Amino acid sequence: MASQDTEWSPSSWRTKPIKQVVTYTNSAAVSSALAKLSNLPPIVTPTEIIKLKRSLRDAALGKAFLLQGGDCAELFSYCADAPIDAKVKLLLQMSLVLIWGSNKPVIRIGRMAGQFAKPRSSPTEVVNGKEIPSFRGDILNGFDPEEREPDPDRLVAAYFHSATTLNYVRAQLGSGFADLHNPMDWELGHVRDQELQAKYERIVHSISDSLRFMRTVGADTAGQLQTVDLYTSHEGLVLEYEQNLTRRLKHPPGYRPATPSADGKGWYNTSAHFLWIGDRTRQVDGAHVEYFRGIENPIGIKVGPSMGSDELVRLLDIVNPSKEVGKVTLITRYGADKVEAMLGPHIEAVKGSGHVVVWQCDPMHGNTRTTATGIKTREFSSIFSELSSALKVHKQHGSFLGGMHLELTGEAVTECTGGSVELGDEDLSLNYTSYCDPRLNEKQALELAFLVAGHYREDRDL
């Protein structure tokens, strides 16, 4: 079993058994690509990473709420201004609604600028009667059957697409894209239920009135309403990539690491602000857990139905032996029919361990189904049901839900059924563009924010 007492380095994961292994045919090309990565500048900085870490501490203590969302599998082709703008706008709108509902600051993390890898249940699949490697994300291979051989040059391409995406996001946020003085188009015409539409419009008017009031009394003169923080995240799946973007860097001024060092430096993964361990790669003696235990970044762990309480506590002890508050976000993904039975015991086990984590609900991955015609989808009502149940169970156990983790897009896709847009199975073929899992479209995602915000308001009014 991995232990916090053993020596750690960015490459020590190579001594452990690994799941979701990548096999390349050209080892020289792999070495060349990794050497290139190791010499490229960081995509994110320690200052940004630690700022997020401090915010997540607030979320762990119930003082903030974490909104994390974006594509299931980001494609290189999504590195364009329109899809990036659409996602950022959607996350901003959702965060405003959640601020209104929860009366807390909202931390925004995008599944973007690096979410190029996807774990698969099988390394191969049959296409047109031929067995070929499964599509594992643009960082490894292409979706076209002729591009399924893992290509090490894609590792470097992933870096540049990530850096370009984040550069554009920073430029947009710094240029007033997120200025809350500017009116936002909330596009509520899709809500066919008049009572529901009126409820959502009241929320929007309340938000707008609050912003106008702050402007009138001069409460926004410090510039806080002119831009926002938006952090990036992805699943830390391809460890060769992560290792070569892990750097020994100076800690930001004022930051006191859990394990001080003589040189005032620590190991930072500079590919993203936040990374998570997937449900398929969380083995306590495995390579991914070994890698994650050594980085300064805040990290997430997916927690599914197969996770035992003892195993969960062992994982927390390995990746966060100093019990740093908010260092770890537990991303629960049970399914609407299992959350009430499984979440409570996990909450109690973590409380008993002394760890203080951010509890985040991922209501997407446990609620996937396949239609009669073989299309993978998710039902909006099941997604909201898991979120509602999580909120209820946390309250029953004297805990609180610290955030939600969604697969979504700012585009008008038809991949999840239900919601006010009233999509049925027969509508999925209209604009189903995901190459992996189904995502909420912009209207469904915003409606989910309205529903969660309403839940918080009703709870506060009791």
| Domain at 143, CATH number | 3.20.20.70
- Annotated binding residue 427: no
Q: Are residues 68 and 215 in the same domain?
A: no
pLDDT, position 461: 66
pLDDT in tens, 273-327: 999 999 999 999 999 999 999 999 999 999 999 999 999 999 999 999 999 999 9
C-alpha–C-alpha distance, residues 58 and 64, integer Å? 5
- Whether residues 335 and 208 share a domain: the answer is no
Give me the chain's average pLDDT, please.
Answer: 92
Residues 137, 187: one domain?
no
Does residue 185 fall inside a structural domain?
yes
In a domain, 4, yes or no: no
Of 226, 241, 257, which closes a domain?
Answer: 226
Are 417 and 377 spatial neighbours (Cβ–Cβ below 8 Å)? yes
Domain boundary among 192, 211, 226: 226
Task: Kindly state whether residue 166 falls inside one of the protein's structural domains.
Answer: yes
Assess whether 221 and 161 both reside in one domain: no
Residue 394 assigned ligand-binding role: no
Query: Does residue 407 have a known ligand-binding role?
Result: yes
Does residue 6 sit within a domain? no
Query: Is residue 305 one of the residues assigned to a domain?
Result: yes
Enclosing domain of residue 216: 179-226
Residues 99 and 184 in one domain: no
To the question of whether residue 72 is assigned a binding role by annotation, the answer is: yes
Computed over its alpha carbons, how large is the radius of gyration of the chain?
A: 22
More confident residue, 173 or 176: 173
Q: Known binder of ligand: residue 333?
A: yes
Q: Is residue 391 part of a domain?
A: yes
pLDDT of 3 higher than 50: no
Per-residue pLDDT reduced to its tens digit, 24-74: 999 999 999 999 999 999 999 999 999 999 999 999 999 999 999 999 999
Pair 212, 360 in one domain: no
Residue 282 neighbours by CB under 8 Å, 6+ apart = 288, 289, 301, 302, 307, 315
Position 63 scores a pLDDT of 96
**What pTM was computed for the model?**
0.94
Q: 460 labelled as ligand-binding?
A: no
pLDDT tens column, 186-240:
777 777 778 778 888 888 888 888 777 777 776 654 455 556 899 999 999 999 9
Do residues 170 and 60 lie in contact, with contact meaning Cβ atoms separated by under 8 Å?
A: no
Residues sharing a CB contact under 8 Å with residue 84, sequence separation 6 or more, in sequence order: 78, 112, 165, 168, 169, 172
95 and 114 co-located in one domain? yes
Residues 67 and 202 in one domain: no
Regarding whether 249 and 139 lie in a shared domain, the answer is: yes
Q: Do 185 and 245 share a domain, yes or no?
A: no
Whether 3 is covered by a domain: the verdict is no
Residues 301 and 185 reside in one and the same domain: no
Is 1 domain-assigned?
no
Q: Looking at the structure, do residues 196 and 290 belong to the same domain, yes or no? A: no
Domain count, the chain: 2
Tell whether residue 437 is among the known ligand binding residues: yes
